[in-house]
Structure 1
C-alpha cells in the first residue's frame, strides 16, 4: 500500500475510456471561451468537475457590485467535466453511519454530527438546485438499501446507527430503517438462488442523477455569468512571483499550462485525485485510486419498470454500489454498478496510485460483469437479449489518510486554495465543501461557517503528516 500511495501523480491521461454519461459528450465539452489563453485573471480555478463548477457558481453569485470579480478563468486538462464527476455512478448516497463511529472516535461526536448533517444537506441541495434551475440531469431522489454480507460488520453497523440516533435524535440524517435477512430477500429481490449469506440491511434517504449533466448544467450557467472556460489546457506547474517589497500587494501566481502562462491573484485547486501533480507536499497524502464502473442491461426476471431503490452490497471492508436508471431517463432500467475490489487477492491495493483511466483491470472488470446474477439469483433470470454489458469505464478518485477531504487555504502560501480528496463520495461532499471554500475566500470564515462546516475537513499541517492506510470509509471503526 505504502509504495503505491507514494507514486508520482500524473496529469489526466489522454484518450480515457468513455463513460456512460459522456456518450454523447456535451456541446461545451471542448469549449474555449476565448481563442487565446488570457494573460491574467483575478481567479484561476483548476478543474471543471462538480467542485470546480460549484466554486465558480458561488464566487460569481457571491460577488457584489463593489467586489465583483473581473476575471474568473477555469482550466481543464481534458474535456469539460471529464474527471471523476463525469465518470462516477451518479449515486447521491451518504451512508453516514459507515463513517460516524470513526469520525466520533477521531474528532469527537459533535464533529461526526456535523459531517452527517453536511452529507444529507449536500444530497438535498443538489437535487433542489437541479429542480430550481431545470437542469436536465435525471435528478431522482429515492431510498437506498445497504445489504450486508458479514455478521461482524452487521453488528457494527447496528451499533453505528444507534450511536447516530443517540447523538442527533429526530434529525433526518439519523433516520435509518434496519432490515433482517428475511426482509432483504422479500423486499429487495436479493438472496434467492444467489448469494444467500445475507446478515441484514439498512435503508435510508438517497438518490441518483447524472453528475456529468448536472455539472455541465452549472458550468453553462457560469458561462452566462462571465466564466472563461478553457478546456484541453493541462496545468503543469504553479509558481509564486513576488514584487520583493514584502507587502504582498504585487504578489501573484504564475499558472503554467501547455498553452502558455496565466498570472492570477488567486488559484483554486479542484483537482481531487490529481492534486499531488501540482502540489508535491500532497504526494502520499491525497492518493489516487482508479475505480471501475459498468452500465448493464437488467436480467429478464428483474422488474420491468425498474428497481425503486439504489443499492450497496457490503462485504466487510469493501463494497459494490448499484444505481438503477430511473423511469423517464435514457436507458431507463439499466443498472449502473461500480466497485469490484472485494474479490481481488490484494483487496484492491494495486489500484491505489493508479491514474490510468484509459484501460481496465481485468479482474475487477470481470468481478463487475459477473456480480449481478450472484446478488439477485433467481430474480435476475436470463441475460438481456442484447447482452449484459452496455458500457464499462474507469475513473480516478482521491483519498486522504484520515478519510476527510482537504478544504481551505494551502498551508505556507497566500492565495492558494483547494477543495479535494473526496474518498469516492464527491456527490455528498463537493457541493457543500465548495460553498464553505468560497466563504473562506470571500472573507466570511466566521462563526456562522463553523456552525455547519466540520473543522476536520480544513487543510492543516498536521493532516499532511499522517500515514496513508487506505480507504477508511470501508473499514470498521476499530481497524
Structure 2
C-alpha cells in the first residue's frame, strides 16, 4: 500500500530502522497482550457479553470463528441467518466465537468509529488494477455506509450505537497536496458520476465560516457515517445470542494457541466431519471449519501469511472540545491531510450518555511517530502509547479549528489515549476466502471436508471493508457446504480481495 511504501522506503529513514521494521513485519505477531491500553469505547463493558464464558468449553462446533470484532459479527450473522439447512437436534453449536480477551477488545473496540470511504485511492487503484477494478472496489467500499446503517436499524441498534450519516470534511492545509487531492477527486467524478454526486470540492474562499477551519487550503465534502463500534458489535452479538441460543456460543478470555488438522489419507478424508482441532488456553474444540478474524495477529496461526499481512500500531484519543466550539457531531466528521500524513476525527452527539456528550474521537499521528512512523510498522501489541503520536494528537485540535473558535477546555483536554493494531498489505486490499495449504502449512484440504478461512487486512479502513467482507465470506462457506439460502451471486465482491496461491506468492 502506498502509505506503507512511502514510509518504509523513504530514503531519509536510517537503514537499520528500515531493516528492523522489515524484520518485525516478517515475525510471528503472537497473540493479543493481556494488558492493553484502555479504550474509551470500552468504558462501559457489555453487561452480559464482556467476559462471557461457558462453564466448560464446548468440545465441538461446526464453525469456530477466532476473533470477536465487526468481521466476526458479520460472519456469525450471515451463517446463522442465511443457512438453509439447520442441523436439527445437533449436540454441537453451529458457531463458536473465541476471543483472547474481553469481547470486542481488539481493533474494532479501538478504532475511530468512522464509516468513511474516500476517493483519494481511486487513481492508485486504477493505476494498479485498471479502471473496471477501481470502480468495483470503490463501489464495494461505498456500499458499507448504507449497509451498516441498515443493519443497525434492523437490529434496533441505531440509538444505542449512535449510528448516523454525516457529511465528512477532508481538510487540506498544503497547496501541493491539495492539487493532488483535487486531481484524484476530479478523476473519480469523471469515472463514477452517479456515485460521486455528493462529493463537493470547496476552494479556500468557498469554505463556510461556520466550519471553523481558518487555515484550510481546501476541503472535499463527502458522505460518511459515524458509530460507536463496540456498542454496535456487542449489541448485535447479544441479539444473535438471544435468537440462536443453542447455535451460538461466545468464549472470551480464551486465547487460541494453535490450530491443528487431522492427518488423513485422501480416501479417508471425506469421512471426517470435524478435521480441525482448535487448541485454546481452556481446552480444545473440534471443528469442521475455522475462520481467522484476528486482524494484525493472523500470522500467528497462519504462518504462510507472515510478511504478507502485517501489523501497524495506530493511536486514538477521546478529547474534550473547547467551550467556544459548537458541537458538530450530528453534522460532520473530519479527515485532516497534511504535507506528511493525516488524522481523522468524529464527534459524539451533544446531549448523549453521561460523560460522553460531544467528545472528540481523534486519531492518527502516524506520520508524526518515531522515525516518521517506521517504528510503528510491525508492532502487534496495543499495550503502549507512541510518545510522539501522543504529543501530536494532544495539541492539534485547537490549532486546526482556530484558537479563536476553540476557547478554553473544561476539565482535561485529553480524557483518554490508547493504541490499537491494524493489519496491512502492500497492495492495500483485504484478504478474504478459503485458505490454501500454502498459507496454513497444515496439509491440503480434501473435497467434502471443511476448511480454514480468513477475512483480514483492511489496511486502516476497517469500517468500509469489514462488514461486507464478512458477509461475503459467510456466504462462501455456506456455498461450500451447499447450505446457502437464496441466490448465490457474489459478483459484487471484488475478486482481487480473494485469497489465491498466486496472490500469496506475489504478495511477499
Mapped partners of 1:255, 1:316: distance in 2? 47
Instruction: Give the counterpart of 1:51 among 65, 71, 87.
Output: 71
Instruction: Give the counterpart of 1:176 among 196, 199, 202.
Output: 199
Hey, what does 2:415 align to over in structure 1?
390
Shift of 1:467: 5.7
Mapped partners of 2:464, 2:281: distance in 1? 33
Structure 2, unpaired ranges of 5+: 1-20, 438-443, 446-450
Hey, what does 1:258 align to over in structure 2?
281
Deviates more, 1:66-75 or 1:348-357: 66-75
Mapped partners of 1:54, 1:406: distance in 2? 16
Asked if 1 retains the 8 angstrom alpha-carbon contact of 2:104 and 2:233, the reply is: yes
Hey, what does 2:348 align to over in structure 1?
325
Asked if 1 retains the 8 angstrom alpha-carbon contact of 2:318 and 2:415, the reply is: yes
1:291 aligns with 2:344: no
The equivalences for 1:238-317 within 5 A come to 238-251=259-272, 252-304=275-327, 308-317=331-340
Distance 1:306 1:242, change over 3 A: closer
Instruction: Give the counterpart of 1:428 among 438, 442, 464.
Output: 464
1:212 aligns with 2:230: yes
Mapped partners of 1:112, 1:247: distance in 2? 44
TM-score (norm 1): 0.91
Mapped partners of 2:473, 2:387: distance in 1? 39
Q: Secondary structure at the residue paired with 2:267?
A: coil
Structure 1, unpaired ranges of 5+: 469-479
Instruction: Give the counterpart of 2:397 among 372, 383, 389.
Output: 372
TM-score (norm 2): 0.86
Asked if 2 retains the 8 angstrom alpha-carbon contact of 1:190 and 1:379, the reply is: no
Output one character per residue of 1:301-341: Cα deviation in whole Å (capped at 9) or x when no partner: 21156573100001245210010112343322111100012
Shift of 1:119: 1.4
Hey, what does 1:440 align to over in structure 2?
476
Hey, what does 1:110 align to over in structure 2?
132
Mapped partners of 1:188, 1:309: distance in 2? 9
Q: Secondary structure at the residue paired with 2:406?
A: coil
Hey, what does 1:476 align to over in structure 2?
none
Asked if 2 retains the 8 angstrom alpha-carbon contact of 1:148 and 1:313, the reply is: yes
Hey, what does 1:417 align to over in structure 2?
453
Shift of 1:205: 0.5
Mapped partners of 2:478, 2:507: distance in 1? 32
Mapped partners of 1:141, 1:238: distance in 2? 40
Instruction: Give the counterpart of 2:175 among 133, 151, 154.
Output: 151
Distance 1:245 1:423, change over 3 A: closer
Output one character per residue of 1:373-413: Cα deviation in whole Å (capped at 9) or x when no partner: 12112344333121201111111111011000000011234
Mapped partners of 2:201, 2:320: distance in 1? 29
Asked if 1 retains the 8 angstrom alpha-carbon contact of 2:329 and 2:346, the reply is: no
Hey, what does 1:121 align to over in structure 2?
143
Mapped partners of 2:312, 2:305: distance in 1? 14
Hey, what does 1:161 align to over in structure 2?
185
Hey, what does 2:217 align to over in structure 1?
199
Shift of 1:20: 0.7
Mapped partners of 1:167, 1:153: distance in 2? 21
Shift of 1:231: 0.5
Output one character per residue of 1:173-211: Cα deviation in whole Å (capped at 9) or x when no partner: 5631001123346242112xxxx3x33210111010101
Asked if 1 retains the 8 angstrom alpha-carbon contact of 2:163 and 2:228, the reply is: yes
Shift of 1:128: 1.4
Distance 1:247 1:99, change over 3 A: farther
Instruction: Give the counterpart of 2:498 among 449, 458, 469.
Output: 458
1:35 aligns with 2:55: yes
Mapped partners of 1:293, 1:304: distance in 2? 20
Mapped partners of 1:439, 1:92: distance in 2? 23
Shift of 1:217: 1.1
Shift of 1:246: 3.1
Aligned-residue CA RMSD in angstroms? 2.1
Deviates more, 1:240-249 or 1:4-13: 240-249
Output one character per residue of 1:242-300: Cα deviation in whole Å (capped at 9) or x when no partner: 34353522441111111111111100111111100111111111111111111110012
Hey, what does 2:156 align to over in structure 1?
134
Distance 1:365 1:63, change over 3 A: same
Query: How many aligned residue pairs are there?
Result: 460
Asked if 1 retains the 8 angstrom alpha-carbon contact of 2:324 and 2:407, the reply is: yes
Asked if 1 retains the 8 angstrom alpha-carbon contact of 2:325 and 2:407, the reply is: no
Asked if 2 retains the 8 angstrom alpha-carbon contact of 1:147 and 1:311, the reply is: yes
